Amino acid sequence: MEIKFANYKLKGMKSIINLEIEHKKITGLIGNNNDKLLELLSLDTLGTGSLTINDIKINKKNFEPFNKRVRIVEEEINYNYFLPTIKDLMVEEIKINNIKLEDYQKKMRDSLKIVGLSRNYLNRSIITLSSYEKKLVLLAISLISNPTLLIIKEPFKGMDLNHKKELLRF
């Protein structure tokens, strides 16, 4: 997915954004106001200015299908004791985002497999996972909805060089 923001501004932003995210490219953003940039890229709300996705000018009428194709991978797993296993987290994600699946069990297993985790992880307790495993689980959860664009917050936080290389390969 290619996204171009030209003279773009979200409500509450002080600056105008001119930004292009190229198709099939890894793009890193650094600096101040990262939360606003993540809000912008998540396509949660439509701002003012020009937004083009895959050479299609986005407006209120055609915004929603693109909005549903973007997933943000959080920095940490936010869980509580009501959702102790990976399976519980994944099922909750499916419910919260109203994701329609024919076989959600298969989709959960497949998402884990894509990131290199076995189906046995479904029954693992969240508190037993390493930082790297937690990041992979977050990626697997985000893949359930078949996103076109993944936005990963702090992708390498707490990882050694080998894990960073593995994640980049993914």
Domain shared by 57 and 82, yes or no? no
Specify whether 159 is located in the same domain as 86.
yes
Q: Are residues 79 and 61 in the same domain?
A: no
**How far is the C-alpha of 151 from the C-alpha of 27, rounded, in Å?**
9
**Boundary residue ending a domain (30, 46, 67):** 67
Residue of 150, 157, 106, 102 whose CA lies nearest to 134: 157
What pLDDT, on a 0 to 100 scale, did the predictor assign at position 81?
60
Q: State how far Cα 101 lies from the chain centre.
A: 19
Residues 87 and 145 in one domain: yes
- Same domain (yes/no): 60, 77: no
- Residues 55 and 112 reside in one and the same domain: no
* DSSP one-letter code for 154: S
Q: What is the mean pLDDT of residues 4-14?
A: 85
pLDDT value at position 109? 95
Distance CA 110, CA 121 (A): 12
Strand 17-21 relative to strand 48-53, pairing = unpaired
Query: Same domain for 27 and 47?
Result: yes
Residues 6+ apart with CB under 8 A from 7: 16, 18, 49, 50
Asked if residue 58 and residue 35 are part of one domain, the reply reads yes
Q: Structurally, how many domains does the chain consist of?
A: 2
Regarding whether 161 and 93 lie in a shared domain, the answer is yes
Q: Which of 44, 67, 90 is the last residue of a domain?
A: 67
Instruction: Find the CATH number of the domain harbouring 116.
Output: 3.40.50.300
Query: Do residues 43 and 80 share a domain?
Result: no
pLDDT tens column, 76-119:
887 666 778 999 999 988 998 888 888 989 999 999 999 999 99
- Beta-bridged to residue 20, according to DSSP, are 4
Residue 47 belongs to what domain range? 3-67
Contact between 84 and 126 (Cβ < 8 Å): yes
Residues 87 and 151 in one domain: yes
Q: Give the separation between CA 39 and CA 36, rounded to whole angstroms.
A: 5
Domain boundary among 67, 88, 109: 67
**Residue 142 shares a structural domain with residue 85:** yes
pLDDT tens digits, one per residue of 41-85: 788 888 888 999 889 998 888 888 887 788 888 888 876 667 789
List, for residues 21-34, the tens digit of each pLDDT value: 888 776 666 666 56
